[in-house]
Structure 1
Amino acid sequence: MQLNGKVAVVTGAGRGLGQAYARALAAAGAAVVVNDLDGELAEQTAEGIRAAGGRAVAEHSAIGSTEAADAIVATAVGEFGRLDVMVTNAGVLRDRSLLKMEDADFDVVVETHLRGTFTCARAAARQFKEQGGNGRLILIGSPAGQRASFGQTGYTASKAGIVGLVRTWAAELERSGSTVNAVIPVALTRMVATIPGMAELVEKADKGEPIPADVRAGGLGTADDVAPLVVFLASDDAAGVTGQAIGVGGDRIAIWSHPTEVAVESRAGGWSADAIAEVFPTAFQPHLQPFKPDTVPGAPEGK
């Protein structure tokens, strides 16, 4: 898979999944703008790419504002002449359950994840249009946005919103040839190290030790297992893939379904509460949807 001549931005690329995406895109031939709030980490990642023979520059904007998004795109155009791929990976966590969630904790998570995805995608889409289209928006979601994730009110709201944006933006940008997709990654990174039972697996991944086969088969691996999907979606081979949420982790890749009606009943003249109660057990109860996440072999239940 070759991305020669393409220019990519990866936000939040100083470590973890973002770093893996940046490295993989560069290894495939793309020039990469490595964004991270931690300037030192961004510089280290960019230097590592250059040392391996790739092209990369570091960029230190805090994701969220329009000004930051415009600065990131301007860096790509100024350094490499164009922009072809925007990977919106930057994020923060402020985990609290609903009753304990403070406004400031909720706001900073939504600002970075959801608003940051919006501002960066908008800035990139404007540049794609100026270049004649055919750009790639790759938005990073999370299983937390697809299923319940206890204690992650702001994070789940943001990640679910991002997948909703994928469908809308795919429809809006289709005529220009630009694609919009979400990657739903599952990986052993520092963000999951605090989950009970996961620290040992994260330590194995950090040391480069093999991940147990049953864990990998269940869809949990390293950041490097996720990166190839990002490279594919950035490529010309993925020109016909848009509006999708694609899960990846360990040995598994999966297409997530779009929300759709699973049970429908009509009643002439409308419904009373009593009428709903009468038909609900047989017409609707069997179709109620699960909300808790699937489990991964070797991982604690619920994550």
Structure 2
Amino acid sequence: MDLTGKVAIVTGSGRGLGLAYARELAAAGAKVVVNDVDAATAEAAAKEITDAGGTAVAEVAAVGRTEAAEALVARAVDEFGRLDVLVTNAGVLRDKVLWKMSDDDFDTVIDVHLRGTFTCARAAVRRMREQGEGGRLILIGSPAGQRGNFGQTNYSAAKAGIVGFARTWAMELERANITVNAVIPVAATAMTETIPALKPYVDALRAGEPMPPFARTALAFGTPEDAAGLVAFLASDAASGVTGQAIGIGGDRLSLWSHPQQVVAAYADGGWRPGAIAEAWPTTVGAQLQTVGENLPEPPAA
């Protein structure tokens, strides 16, 4: 996968998945703007990439504000002369159940994930359209945005909105040859260790133990590096015809998420009154109610 001559911004790339994406893009030949809210973390990530033979600079910014987005794009252009790829990975967690979630808990997560994706994409697209050579927006989603997750009102809503961005922007940017896709990763990070079913695998990985086959296949759970190949693919010319999609990656599994669609419909002449709905519900629409949340399989017995 050759990305020589391409310039990429990866938000929230000081550690975890974001750093894995930045390393993979740089290894493929792209010049990368690394971003983190912490200066030491951002500089360390950029140094790691350059020490490995890649090209990277650090830009410290708290993603969310328009000024931060414009600063990231300006850094890419000032350092490398152009912008071809944006990966919107920056994120935070403020997990609480609905009745305990504060306005600040909600706003902080929405500002970084949802508003940050919007402001960074807007700034990047303005530059890409000015260049007139197309581009790539790679928006990082989550299974929580696809299925919901207990205690993640803010995060689930933001990640669902990000996939909505991908579908809408894919249509708006088609004529400019800018593709837009959402990546739905699952990997051992500080975020996933908060999920009880996954924490033992995160702990094992940190202890230097190999990820068991059950985790890599049935749970699609692996390392951040396992998810990075998809980002490099989507940034490449090989993915020029892929847009508007939500693509899952994790462990040994690559998958495609469906767009929401009607699964069943019922009709009544003149429309539906409450009593008619109640009578028809059990055998029509109500017979195919959808589940919520991630239904993770149980590990095999030892």
TM-score range, shorter chain: over 0.9
Q: Say whether residues 1:189 and 2:189 are aligned partners.
A: yes
Partner of 2:231: 230
Partner of 2:119: 119
- Stretch moving more, 263-272 or 108-117: 263-272
Q: What percentage of residue pairs aligned between the two structures are identical?
A: 62
Q: Given that residues 166 and 244 in structure 1 are in contact (C-alpha distance below 8 angstroms), is that contact kept between their aligned partners in structure 2?
A: yes
Alignment of 1:207-226 (within 5 A): 207-218=207-218, 219-226=220-227
Partner of 1:283: 284
Q: Given that residues 98 and 153 in structure 2 are in contact (C-alpha distance below 8 angstroms), is that contact kept between their aligned partners in structure 1?
A: yes
Partner Cα distance (2:174, 2:282) in 1: 42
Partner Cα distance (2:50, 2:264) in 1: 54
Q: Given that residues 14 and 45 in structure 1 are in contact (C-alpha distance below 8 angstroms), is that contact kept between their aligned partners in structure 2?
A: yes
Partner of 1:141: 141
- CA spacing shift, 1:259–1:77, aligned 2, 3 Å: same
Partner Cα distance (2:226, 2:138) in 1: 16
Under a length normalisation based on structure 2, what TM-score does the superposition of the two structures give?
0.96
Cα deviation 1:236-287 (Å, max 9, x = unaligned): 0000000000011000011000011111122222111111111111111222
Partner of 1:88: 88
Q: Given that residues 135 and 178 in structure 1 are in contact (C-alpha distance below 8 angstroms), is that contact kept between their aligned partners in structure 2?
A: yes
Query: 1:207, CA displacement in angstroms?
Result: 4.6
Name the amino acid aligned to 1:253.
Answer: L
Alignment of 1:61-210 (within 5 A): 61-210=61-210
The aligned length equals: 299
Alignment of 1:41-80 (within 5 A): 41-80=41-80
- CA spacing shift, 1:183–1:250, aligned 2, 3 Å: same
Name the amino acid aligned to 2:55.
Answer: R
Partner of 2:258: 257
Cα deviation 1:213-250 (Å, max 9, x = unaligned): 11101201010000000000000000000000001100
Partner of 1:32: 32
- Stretch moving more, 171-180 or 268-277: 268-277
Partner of 2:270: 269
Under a length normalisation based on structure 1, what TM-score does the superposition of the two structures give?
0.96
In structure 2, runs of 5+ residues without a counterpart are none
Find the residue that maps to 1:33 and give its secondary structure: strand
Find the residue that maps to 1:254 and give its secondary structure: strand
Q: Given that residues 150 and 293 in structure 2 are in contact (C-alpha distance below 8 angstroms), is that contact kept between their aligned partners in structure 1?
A: no
Partner Cα distance (1:278, 1:128) in 2: 55
In structure 1, runs of 5+ residues without a counterpart are none
- CA spacing shift, 1:22–1:288, aligned 2, 3 Å: same
